[in-house]
Amino acid sequence: MLNLYVAPSSSSSRRAEKWLKSHDIQFKKRDISKRPLSAEDLKQILRLSENGSDDLISKRCHSFKKLKINFDNLRVSQLIDLMVKYPDLIRRPLIFDDRQLQVGFSEEGIRSFLPREARKTLLTDLLEQRNTDITA
């Protein structure tokens, strides 16, 4: 099952939810402003991350600027403690299943959550459109 962790104030979260619905992809939604992530939740998400905390930390948020911490010097446990204490440090939306994670909304990246047959159909349609545009 696909998980979508959002913050209602995030336009990227709203776009991700709209995209998933428009492609008939079932997902479980969690508003992390109402149900913050636990240390265990964050460990699971970090395991899926290709670049560790670099993928998850929002460097533009108020808490990041206020804390003035070099996140590269933190142990993982310290980093997790900070993200639990300051949930706005976490970029949103978080879209993941048991194999992959996407942080933020990217139309290219989110396509990886489409079933294989749907991706093939989408690619075929795109190639046909491109060929039509070239010959026109």
Q: What DSSP string runs through the chain?
A: -EEEEE-TT-HHHHHHHHHHHHTT--EEEEETTTSPPPHHHHHHHHHH-SSTHHHHB-TTSHHHHHH---GGGS-HHHHHHHHHH-GGGB-S-EEE-SS-EEES--HHHHGGGS-HHHHHHHHHHHHHHHHHHHH-
pLDDT digits (tens, 9 = 90+) for 29-86: 999 989 999 999 999 999 999 988 889 999 889 999 899 888 889 999 999 999 999 9
pTM for the complete prediction?
A: 0.82
Mean pLDDT computed over 111-130: 78
Domains of the chain with CATH codes: 2-135 (3.40.30.10)
Say yes or no to pLDDT of 116 above 80. no
- What is the reported pLDDT for 39? 97
- What is the reported pLDDT for 132? 81
